[in-house]
Amino acid sequence: MSDFASALDLAQAIARREVSAEAVVRRAVEAALNDPYAAFTRVFASQAIAAAQAVDRAEVAGPLAGVPFAVKDLFDVAGQVTTAGAKLRQSAAAAPQDAEVVRRLKNAGAVLIGTLNMDEFAYGFATVNAHFGTTKNPYDPARLAGGSSGGSAAAVAAGLVPLTLGSDTNGSVRVPASLCGVWGMRPADGTVPLDGVFPFVEMLDTVGPFARSSRDLRRLYEVISGTAPQGDGPPLRVAKLGGFFARDAALEAVNAVEVVMAHLKSDAVVPLPQAEGGRSAGFLITAALGGALHLDTLRERANDYDPAVRDRLIAGAMLPAGVLARALDYRERYRRIFAELFETYDVLVASATPCAAPRIDESTILIDGKPASARTNLGIYAQAISLTGAAVISAPLRTTGLPIGLQFITRPGHEGRLFDLMHRMEDAGVLGFTAPGGGA
């Protein structure tokens, strides 16, 4: 896809007949079949080429007509088994129809290429999958791509496809977007349908898009949400989140936030002492509800799970009901506390991950000055935001080093103004994708 600056440019070129959709899709299929990063789990070559030919015959139209996309392997695709990254689901019944967001993208003319790797059942921040392999970071294949939507982020960063979908429960879009240097989004709760998406923790699950530019991300969000968020308005009031969101940050994460705040000419800092509790509550809710969802299957087929995922699910299922009740109560209080911040500020900024991508052979990162599991803790800052229900864009800092992303957080209904800010900062060269190897 490197011949075009963006998915929108590609769509326009196809519409003007400067390039055929079939040629574009054949290149994407070939790239996916020869994927060196373990990003793809399946490639739908014949179906994709047939869909592209329909675009070229003008039988299909739309704002993304002919543009290739791929989805995390927990979205239903008609006629295919939704594995959710798990070996034990490979014998499940095929999905009778596409997930609603897949249907919306196809209706917009986009062409589905295949499914993408993930942590088993979306439980992890690394995309280390015992059955489908570890997804490698296109910037350095010795490093993690992040997770659980690692295949989705890596496929975009590597230029295999220009657009992908993932899911974000506790940071599963924002973490890999940060580590792979692409744009990602956790939409506000309830704004994108979850029909046909294999659940992890339904009250926290969201569908999230990935792209190489903020404008591509906006168009993809518009298609899957069925909305066109409006911008304009008075100047945005921006503050960075302090305390918890800086405590375990590596130098690259600290510097990224400082670069952005300097560009925005803001030195406002918002203390949020409840953030650690918010992260802990999310951790407990995830463990308890995720464990409960899998309990019957665990009793029958525990050995078919990835051992690292199995043990966490069992531990969650064993949590006392009172622990879950207290975590849910805290969630409601935390959401109210967080919403009050938007009475003073329009956008809150924090690092998306505490560090750049760790090496695959280094299973820990530093948390509270001690080695801690990367698979569990790369999402420490993202998880503290998930409970709030806010809209969050993960934006890559323009850098010549390893990628690092930032969370830009706003209240539901203000997505248009947030996208406008992202466009301005991308145009100014502060934020933006840089291809692996330093290309455009």
Is the confidence at residue 253, as pLDDT, over 90? yes
**For residues 10-31, average pLDDT:** 98
Query: Nearest Cα to 393, choosing from 232, 133, 177?
Result: 177
pLDDT band, residue 57 (cuts 50/70/90): very high
Residue 268 has pLDDT above 90, yes or no: yes
- 98 domain residue, yes or no: yes
Do 136 and 218 lie in a common domain?
Answer: yes
Final residue before a domain boundary, out of 204, 225, 246: 225
Provide mean pLDDT across the span 2-13: 85
Please report, rounded to a whole number, the percentage of residues in the chain having pLDDT higher than 90.
95
Same domain? For 165 and 255 the reply is no
State the pLDDT at residue 437.
80
DSSP 356: S
Which structural domain, as residue segments, surrounds residue 340?
238-427
Q: Is residue 349 part of a domain?
A: yes
Residue 39 is given by DSSP the state -
pLDDT at position 3 is 62
103, with CB counted inside 10 A (0-12, 13-18, 19+), is: middle
pLDDT tens, position by position, 399-414: 989 999 999 999 999 9
In a domain, 174, yes or no: yes
| In a shared domain, residues 255 and 182 | no
> Are 63 and 31 within one domain?
yes
Residue ranges of alpha helices (H) inside 302-353 are 307-317, 321-341
One domain for residues 187 and 279? no
140 domain residue, yes or no: yes
Q: How far apart are CA 362 and CA 175, in angstroms?
A: 17
Any idea what the CATH number is for the domain that residue 422 is in? 3.90.1300.10
- The two beta strands, 68-72 and 163-168, are parallel
Report helix angle 307-317 to 275-301, nearest 10: 110
- With H, G, I as helix, E, B as strand and everything else as coil, classify residue 375: helix
Phi-psi region of 284 (alpha: psi -120 to 50; beta: other; left: phi over 0): alpha
Q: Which residues, 6 or more positions from 181, have their beta carbon under 8 angstroms from its beta carbon?
A: 139, 157, 396, 399, 403, 404, 405, 433, 434
Domain stop point among 203, 225, 247: 225
In a domain, 419, yes or no: yes
Identify any residues that bridge with 370 across adjacent strands, giving them in sequence order. 367
Is residue 247 domain-shared with residue 320, that is, in the same domain? yes
**Cis amide linkage into residue 6, ω under 30° from 0:** no
Q: Tell whether 140 and 245 lie within a shared domain.
A: no
User: How many separate domains does the chain show?
Assistant: 2
**pLDDT at 176 exceeding the cut of 50:** yes
Q: Which residues are designated catalytic?
A: 72, 148, 172
Q: Is the pLDDT of residue 4 over 80?
A: no
Q: Are residues 147 and 219 in the same domain?
A: yes
At residue 425, what are phi and psi to the nearest 5 degrees?
A: -75, -30
Q: Which two tokens stand for residue 378?
A: 């790369």
Phi, psi angle pair for 216, to nearest 5°: -60, -40
Residue 440 lies in a domain: no
Same domain for 108 and 157, yes or no, is yes
Residue 69 has pLDDT above 50, yes or no: yes
Q: Calculate mean pLDDT across residues 239-247.
A: 95
Rounded percentage of the chain residues whose pLDDT exceeds 70: 98
Instruction: Assess if residue 432 is contained within a domain.
Output: no
Does the pLDDT at position 440 exceed 60? no
Q: Would you say residue 72 lies in a domain?
A: yes
Q: Is the pLDDT of residue 439 over 70?
A: no
**Any idea how long the chain is?**
440
Q: What is the pTM of this model?
A: 0.97
**231 — pLDDT class (breaks 50, 70, 90):** confident
State the Cα–Cα distance between residues 238 and 408, nearest whole angstrom. 9
8 Å CB contact between 176 and 146: yes
| 347 in the same domain as 271 | yes
Listed residues 225, 255, 281: the one ending a domain: 225
For residues 338 and 253, membership in a common domain is answered with yes
Whole-angstrom distance, CA of residue 79 vs CA of residue 32: 20
Distances (CA, A) of 78 to 55, 74, 93, 368: 20, 12, 11, 46
Q: Tell me: the pLDDT tens digits for 103-162? A: 999 999 999 999 999 999 999 999 999 999 999 999 999 999 999 999 999 999 999 999
Going by pLDDT thresholds of 50, 70 and 90, the confidence category of residue 182 is: very high
In this prediction, residue 438 carries a pLDDT of: 60
156 and 255 co-located in one domain: no
